[in-house]
Structure 1
Amino acid sequence: MTHGPRRIVCLTEEPTETLYALGEQDRIVGISGFTVRPAIARKEKPKVSAFTSAKIGEILKLRPDFVIGFSDIQAEIAGELIRHGVEVWISNHRSVDGIIDYVRRLGALVGVADRANVYADELQRGLDDIAAQAAKLPQRPKVYFEEWDEPLISGIQWVAELVRIAGGDDIFPERAAESLAKQRILEDPSEVVRRAPDIILGSWCGKKFRPEKVAARPGWDAIPAVRDGELHEIKSPIILQPGPASLSDGVAEIARVIRRWAERPST
């Protein structure tokens, strides 16, 4: 007997990726236009939302019995759907533990809690393995993660935590603790210079990271990462969504950059 909602609209990518991983993709009737994981979802499912907007009429035509979104940024979309009688779940997790718990809760909501717990445990083991390897590195780099460039926005909590798991130390831990992007805006770019990161990771949501533009900022030539050419892009689909991608491919890519830095020959 099938339990839980049967016609789900996913307003962001992470519920789509999670439901596919759990083998419950047949429940999904609509997805976000920003979805890239898994690739097959873009071919199979109608795209009915962006991040801050949605095609409410198209969503209602799909007759969803459950809509899943993320964060206060989607509050207006959620409110409009609720006023049309649709059941909506807006998750607001911002940490690695929150992502793991999100997988468990989503699985429980669709009636496959046991399968979701197994999957969540696999994700946790993967993180534990990366942390164990990182603990063996000869040195830890200071890392600046840039989520946007105009204005400069530093990394969100789960990103800072993944940097730490991968063997580095985020240079703006006090900013990462803030849930809203506006609270992570760096009013003074020279603060990055003062904190002297060894590695700069860029993930400009929706556009390509341009390391040469970063290196050309006034005064940034004094930053060790710029001096040593340690500016790297982490593709936004694998790090800026609070779902399985960040806990697998995203953290693995960060770990690869940090490991290469830590093991480079000393000059």
Structure 2
Amino acid sequence: MGPQRIVCLTEEPTETLYALGEQDRIVGISGFTVRPPQARKEKPKVSAFTSAKIGEILKLQPDLAIGFSDIQADIAAELVRHGVEVWISNHRSVDGIVDYVRRLGALVGAAERANAYADTLQRGLDDVRAQAARLPRRPTVYFEEWDEPQITGIRWVSELIGIAGGDDVFPEMAKESLAKHRILADGSEVVRRAPDIILGSWCGKKFRPDRVAARPGWDAIPAVRDGELHEIKSPLILQPGPAALTDGVQAIAAIIQRWAGRHR
């Protein structure tokens, strides 16, 4: 049976529950939700990422609220004080996302469907990895999550770059779960590490390759010299859910495959 009235404080539980055919349980969603598109039309928007309309959520009489990470700790605490059961997941890796799908499915009594869906996601990743293994050369990749200050990619993004056939130039920073610990103290370090490709996904605003290319000294970076600056839309890659494991990694893989075709 499981919870019947779920509020999703971020996008990934919404996308997952729709994929499992359990969308009727959802009574409220995050205002940042874009996947699946019908969720925005069907469900009331009751939260952002760091804030929520607590009163509106309580009116929905949820028996479970689902959120993500320490950033939503204050929202979670407020809901708990009002008697709402809350699950805050904190997965940061590709394996963690796959496991999240399984756990969420089990939570709503759809374990069998969730396991099948998770297996499908894993097979898709295996296919991307197999395709990448045939590349004649692996490019180095700089992923930028924000521009002011410059923030490098989180762990699942770094892992997806690897699966797609590239090598993250800041793998040591990807291990840091908090964005504040992935701030580049000196942008010239990107110049020194000389990525072949620059991927930008500025959460909430459009990536501007021209601004990146105009940074002092960045004209020496191979990616800038060769015009290899690309946007990955944030809903595809910055949510630790199915989107990143499907359209997100496919978008990265397509860029890397095109790069490889020009650098045989």
Q: 1:109 aligns with which of 103, 107, 110?
A: 107
Shift in alpha-carbon separation, 1:114–1:220, aligned structure 2, 3 A: same
Count of aligned pairs = 264
The CA deviation string for residues 33-91 of structure 1, in whole angstroms up to 9 with x for no partner, is 00000000000000000000000000000000000000000000000000001000000
Distance in 2 between the 1:180 and 1:233 partners? 22
2:253 to 252, 255, 265: 255
Paired residue secondary structure (1:5): coil
Quote the Cα distance in structure 2 between the aligned partners of 1:265 and 1:45: 47
After the TM superposition, which residues 108-147 of structure 1 pair with which residues of structure 2 at under 5 Å, given as runs? 108-147=106-145
Deviation at 1:265, TM superposition (A): 5.2
Q: Corresponding residue for 1:199?
A: 197
Q: Distance in 2 between matches of 1:191 and 1:183?
A: 16
SS at match of 2:142: strand
Tell me how far apart the structure 2 counterparts of residues 111 and 204 of structure 1 sit (CA, whole Å): 36
Structure 1 partner of 2:238: 240
Please give the per-residue CA displacement for 1:130-153, whole angstroms capped at 9, x wherever unaligned.
Answer: 000000000000000000000000
SS in structure 1 of the partner of residue 246 of structure 2: helix
Alignment-mate amino acid for residue 203 of structure 1: S
Structure 1 equivalent of residue 72 of structure 2: 74
Give 2:11's aligned residue.
Answer: 13
Deviations 1:180-199 (A, max 9, x none): 00000001000000000000
Quote how far apart the aligned CAs of 1:264 are: 1.0
TM-score by length of 2: 1.00
Counterpart pick for 1:43 among 21, 29, 41: 41
Amino acid at match of 1:221: D
1:148-227 maps to which residues of 2 (within 5 A)?
A: 148-227=146-225
Question: Separation in 1 of the partners of 2:255 and 2:80?
Answer: 44
CA distance in 2, matches of 1:265, 1:30: 48
How big is the alpha-carbon RMSD for the aligned residues of Structure 1 and Structure 2?
Answer: 0.5
Amino acid of the structure 1 residue aligned with 2:204: G
- Does 2:259 align with 1:264? no
Amino acid at match of 1:162: L
Deviation at residue 263 of structure 1 after TM alignment: 1.3
- Structure 1 Cα separation of the partners of residues 18 and 85 of structure 2: 21
Could you say which residue in structure 2 is the equivalent of 1:90? Answer: 88
Structure 1 runs (4+) deviating above 2 angstroms are none
Letter aligned with residue 201 of structure 2: S
SS at 1:263's partner residue?
A: helix
Identity score, percent: 83
In 1, distance between residues paired with 2:135 and 2:18? Answer: 35
